[in-house]
């Protein structure tokens, strides 16, 4: 079938010439049976989810327990981001930098075109117009995802503003600037061939073309590889836009804190995937009188406002949270969000009465269907849910969403937290001396690897600003961009920077700090530091709270554990220095001299 005869090519709901010619070109290459333009309506959702139930991809959950919600399990080989298959295809290799896989853009496009040729045969090609960030932004960031996966269409409806509401913007003055994002599961169907519940391909490519602002993804149906508005656009491509336009696209949650005096503070915080961003974003403070509201749990776009402060917007529309460990104690607000339904659950377990379950959730089910679609009982030696299983749910359902979450102006950020998952060395909280020192903290932060990406579980790696897997350009240039942002600003108006670690452990492996809602005690201290009212001790690595400066009222954690969590151990830090030097060696020639200066100053303070 040629593109001209593909049903749907001629009734496009847009006059955007670039979009029309791209859709035609992709249809010619991938030869789908038909084209559907997604409008984002309830009727479309019904149609699409019914199709997925029929195909065996979705199981509808019990309407009384999780209304309008579905359970899906993936191919067991398609459960996480694939970093070794992720490429930044800048024209020059140096612009991708030492931390990204690179291939020449023409070479990559040739490989992918071969794979894409005929890859949608027997399937429908969906065209999803979407917008990252509020639709009424001054400079709305548009995208269009082409995909042959109904699972992707349904997920994009939760995670982005998509469909008919975006069409007027695509036909507007900046409509031609949309980011084309092409996705295929890479599983064409021969006539009469039965589909599988989770089509995908062993060969996977997640590729980005930063200069031309394009995304081409092949072979995976999993979240970060396939919902191209998220990591691919809102971090990798947007980080390049941000560098060029003087703003920041970061892997950060956005949290609103309200003091007992009703003063409002906004905090952004960067943690690697599966290190508790969603839990912190929906925090229920344990400190009396303090309240918290959510703006975002994964991505922050920060631009300077007219008043010289940094304003953050969450470009997303939904939460794509890690399910295991989420429960009524660790994150009651996430539980309340998903309870309202309208959600997708991927790779969790299914209960016999068609609800969902995962490790860490309340209840002791005696029988489940595991994420591998197998019978599961408590004596099973395998987890019922995959460690990277996810819930996908609308932000608007969150009971503590801040009323301003959809405001195109964004919210003024007072503090930025960097944090990783470290058993040792890194204390509970450290305040940076200034923006450049804070940039150094972010640039050298490290974390143990989690299940959010394939391979290497538990290994400590440097994950600068939690952006290692999400940077669209050279990491050295990225550090310089952070330094420049600091220089371009009125210092007094910049957010204060803190480095936190909720995950330090004692000799017997127990966590020294209780975490979750108790993290509000640390947040309270950071705010009191901004207000100039809390005490701190200056150490080699920065300012840390005096033990009495942390509000520990009502906390039953042993005092010596808290002291151990907060301790700055000079010997441990001396042991960290060669690791930082090795990392800076890897960053290479583009490492800003200011970051080297910070390292030398730290060594001096440590007496090295
Ligand atoms: O799959 S995602 O990349 O969206 C989730 C994550 O790894 O943070
Ligand atoms: Mn993330």
For 319-397, give the CATH class.
Answer: mainly beta
Please check the confidence at residue 1 and state whether its pLDDT lies above 60: no
Task: Give residue 277 CA to ligand 2 midpoint distance, Å.
Answer: 8
The answer on whether 532 is annotated among ligand-binding residues is no
Ligand 1 atom at minimum distance from 452 CA: 7
Task: Give residue 146 CA to ligand 2 midpoint distance, Å.
Answer: 22
Evaluate whether ipTM surpasses 0.90. Answer: yes
Please spell the DSSP secondary structure of 95-125, one letter per residue.
HH-TTSB---HHHHHHHHHHHHTTTTTTSEE
Alpha-carbon distance of 27 to 593, in angstroms, equals 49
3-state percent helix, strand, coil for the chain, nearest multiple of 5: 35, 25, 45
For 352-375, the pLDDT digits (tens) are: 999 999 999 999 999 999 999 999
What mean pLDDT comes out for the span 277-302? Answer: 97
- The answer to whether domain 3-57+85-246 has CATH 3.40.449.10 is yes
- Nearest ligand to the CA atom of 270: 2
Pocket test for ligand 1, best of 215, 224, 299 (most atoms within 8 A of CB): 224
Please check the confidence at residue 460 and state whether its pLDDT lies above 90: no
Q: Where are the domains of the chain?
A: 3-57+85-246, 249-317+405-606, 319-397
54 sits in the region (left: phi over 0; alpha: psi -120 to 50; else beta) called alpha
The answer on whether 318 is annotated among ligand-binding residues is no
Residue nearest to atom 5 of ligand 1 (CA): 224
**Distance of CA 345 to CAs 56, 353, 355, Å?**
14, 15, 10
Task: Give residue 392 CA to ligand 2 midpoint distance, Å.
Answer: 13
Judge whether 38 counts as a catalytic residue.
no
In this structure, the dihedral spanned by the alpha carbons of residues 209, 212, 214 and 219, taken in order and rounded to 10 degrees, is: -40
Answer whether 37's CB lies under 8 Å from 13's CB. yes
- Report which DSSP code applies to 408: T
Answer whether 70's CB lies under 8 Å from 60's CB. yes
Residue nearest to atom 3 of ligand 1 (CA): 224
**Which residues sit with their C-beta closer than 6 Å to ligand 1?**
81, 223-224, 230-231, 273, 320, 452
Alpha-carbon distance of 480 to 211, in angstroms, equals 19
For 249-317+405-606, give the CATH class.
Answer: alpha beta
For 476-520, the pLDDT digits (tens) are: 999 999 999 999 998 789 999 999 999 999 999 999 999 999 999
Domains 3-57+85-246 and 249-317+405-606 share a fold: no
Opening angle at CA 477, ends 484 and 501, nearest 5: 80
Alpha-carbon distance of 291 to 177, in angstroms, equals 40
Pocket test for ligand 1, best of 223, 226, 321, 421 (most atoms within 8 A of CB): 223
For 234-286, the pLDDT digits (tens) are: 999 999 999 999 999 999 999 999 999 999 999 999 999 888 899 999 999 99
Active-site annotation holder among 119, 131, 275, 398: 275
Residue nearest to atom 8 of ligand 1 (CA): 273
pLDDT, the chain, mean = 96
Task: Give residue 227 CA to ligand 2 midpoint distance, Å.
Answer: 12
What pLDDT score was predicted for residue 4? 62
Please check the confidence at residue 547 and state whether its pLDDT lies above 90: no
Please check the confidence at residue 453 and state whether its pLDDT lies above 90: no
pTM of the model: 0.97
The closest alpha carbon to 240, from 97, 377, 117, belongs to 97
What mean pLDDT comes out for the span 171-175? Answer: 93
Pair of tokens at residue 287: 């400190």
410 sits in the region (left: phi over 0; alpha: psi -120 to 50; else beta) called left
């Amino acid at each position: 079938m040629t593109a001209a005869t593909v049903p749907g090519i001629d009734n496009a709901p847009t006059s955007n010439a670039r979009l029309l010619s791209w859709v035609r070109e992709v249809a010619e290459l991938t030869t789908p049976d038909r084209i559907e333009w997604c409008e984002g309506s309830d009727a479309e959702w019904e149609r699409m989810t019914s199709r997925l139930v029929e195909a065996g991809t979705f199981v509808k959950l019990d309407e009384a327990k999780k209304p309008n919600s579905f359970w899906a399990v993936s191919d067991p080989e398609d459960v996480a981001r694939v970093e070794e298959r992720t490429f930044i295809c800048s024209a020059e290799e140096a612009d991708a930098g030492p931390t990204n896989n690179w291939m020449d853009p023409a070479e990559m496009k040739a490989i992918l075109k071969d794979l894409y040729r005929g890859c949608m045969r027997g399937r429908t090609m969906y065209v999803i117009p979407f917008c990252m960030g509020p639709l009424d932004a001054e400079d709305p960031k548009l995208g269009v995802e082409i995909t042959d996966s109904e699972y992707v269409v349904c997920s994009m409806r939760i995670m982005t503003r998509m469909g008919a509401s975006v069409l007027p913007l695509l036909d507007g003055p900046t409509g031609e600037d949309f980011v084309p994002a092409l996705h295929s599961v890479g599983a064409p169907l021969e006539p009469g061939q039965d589909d599988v519940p989770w089509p995908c391909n062993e060969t996977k490519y997640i590729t980005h073309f930063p200069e031309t602002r394009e995304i081409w993804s092949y072979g995976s149906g999993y979240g970060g590889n396939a919902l191209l508005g998220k990591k691919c656009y809102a971090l990798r491509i947007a980080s390049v836009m941000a560098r060029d336009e003087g703003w920041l696209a970061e892997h950060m949650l956005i949290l609103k804190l309200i003091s007992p005096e009703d003063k409002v503070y906004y905090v952004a915080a960067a943690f690697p995937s599966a290190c508790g961003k969603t839990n912190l974003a929906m925090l229920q403070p344990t400190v009396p009188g303090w309240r918290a509201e959510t703006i975002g749990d994964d991505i922050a776009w920060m631009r300077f406002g007219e008043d010289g402060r940094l304003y953050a917007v969450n470009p997303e529309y939904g939460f794509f949270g890690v399910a295991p460990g989420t429960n009524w104690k660790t994150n009651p607000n996430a539980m309340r969000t998903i309870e309202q339904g309208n959600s997708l659950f991927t790779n969790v377990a299914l209960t016999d009465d068609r609800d969902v379950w995962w490790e860490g959730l309340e209840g002791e089910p005696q029988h489940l269907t595991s994420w591998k679609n197998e019978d599961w009982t408590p004596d099973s030696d395998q987890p019922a849910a995959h460690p990277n299983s996810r819930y996908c749910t609308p932000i608007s359902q969150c009971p503590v969403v801040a009323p301003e979450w959809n405001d195109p102006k964004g919210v003024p950020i007072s503090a930025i937290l960097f944090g990783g998952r470290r058993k040792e060395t890194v204390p509970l909280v450290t305040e940076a001396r200034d923006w450049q020192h804070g940039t150094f903290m972010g640039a050298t932060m490290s974390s143990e690897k989690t299940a959010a990406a394939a391979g290497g579980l538990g290994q400590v790696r440097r994950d600068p600003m939690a952006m290692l897997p999400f940077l669209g350009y050279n990491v050295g240039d990225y550090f310089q961009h952070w330094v420049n942002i600091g220089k371009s600003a009125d210092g007094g108006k910049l957010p204060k920077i803190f480095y936190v670690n909720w995950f330090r452990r004692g000799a017997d492996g127990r966590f020294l700090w209780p975490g979750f809602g108790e993290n509000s005690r640390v947040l309270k201290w950071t705010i009191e530091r901004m207000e100039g009212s809390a005490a701190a001790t200056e150490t080699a690595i920065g300012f840390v709270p005096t033990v009495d400066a942390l509000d520990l009222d009502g906390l039953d954690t042993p005092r010596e554990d808290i002291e151990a969590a907060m301790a700055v151990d000079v010997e441990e830090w001396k042991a960290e220095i060669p690791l930082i030097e090795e990392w800076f060696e890897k960053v290479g020639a583009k490492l800003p001299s200011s970051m080297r200066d910070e390292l030398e100053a730290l060594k001096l303070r440590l007496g090295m």
